[in-house]
Structure formats: C-alpha cells, structure tokens
Amino acid sequence: MWTGRPQSLAEAAAVTVDDRWFALNELMDEFYLNDRDLRTQQTMIDQAPAVTDSPFIDAFYAATAEHLALRWQLDIPVWTEEPRRAGSNRPTFMPNIPAIWPILLVESPYAFRQRHIFTGREPLQRARWPLREVKVPPLCDL
C-alpha cells in the first residue's frame, strides 16, 4: 500500500496501479495547499511521469499538468506535448454515462478535450480547492 503525499506528478505516477488515483488525489490536495506559491506548484508538474502501458493514463497525466499550468498561469511543461501523451483517437468519457456525454463534450477543459478525454468542468477539483476563484485565461482573443 502506498503511503505519504506525493510532491510531484511524476512521484504520484510512480505508485502501483491500484493506488494511482489515490496518489493523484493526494497530489491535488498538496498542489492546492500550495496555492499562491507558484514556484512550488511549477515544480510539482515540471518533471515528466514515466510512460505507462496505458495511452489513456499517459494522456491523463499530461492533461492534468497542462490544465494546472493554464489555470494557475504556470509554464506548460514541454513533456506534455510528446506524441505518446496525446491520448487515443477513441474518446473516453468520465463518467462513462451516455446520457451526459453531450454535457461533457461542452464542459471539458481544453487540456483534456484535446486528448479526447471528456470530463466535467473542473476534473481536478477537491475539497482543498482554493477559496479564491482561479480562472483559466482565454486561449485566444475573440
């Protein structure tokens, strides 16, 4: 069993498959506890997680790092652009409930959507989410 709270996405990804989502949730708590400490937050996403045998997991980690970078106005780690982290051509819906797929198609953040991962508006929200509103800046001027 994995114990402790990871200090980076790479560290969270290094746990056993059974504890993978738990470790990612713990990392999100740690990231949000460091709200406004941009240097620490940047360090938490800079190192690339090891590539797994799952294109979905690799894409999810890349989407997580890119989404956090966009939302907290950090630098997007270069490793997130590696082709092996682009995800599958087959869409994944989280949750996989066909009745809400249209909502997920619209609400999914850019970093997830571009990797064909369709989620709710804020897939990384946790109870430790900062009280202040943290917005993703527009990707382009309209």
pLDDT in tens, 14-29: 987 778 888 998 999 9
Its pTM stands at 0.88
What are the pLDDT digits (tens) for 42-52?
999 999 999 99
- Residues 6+ positions from 130 with CB-CB distance below 8 Å: 32, 35
132 — pLDDT class (breaks 50, 70, 90): low
Coil vs helix vs strand at 24:
helix
Residue-wise pLDDT for 57-76, tens only, equals 999 999 999 999 998 999 99
Q: Residue range 125-140: average pLDDT?
A: 65
Query: Residue 50 has what DSSP assignment?
Result: P
Phi, psi (degrees; rounded to nearest 5) at 68: -60, -40
pLDDT at position 113 is 96
Instruction: Please check the confidence at residue 3 and state whether its pLDDT lies above 70.
Output: no
Q: Diameter of the chain by CA atoms?
A: 49
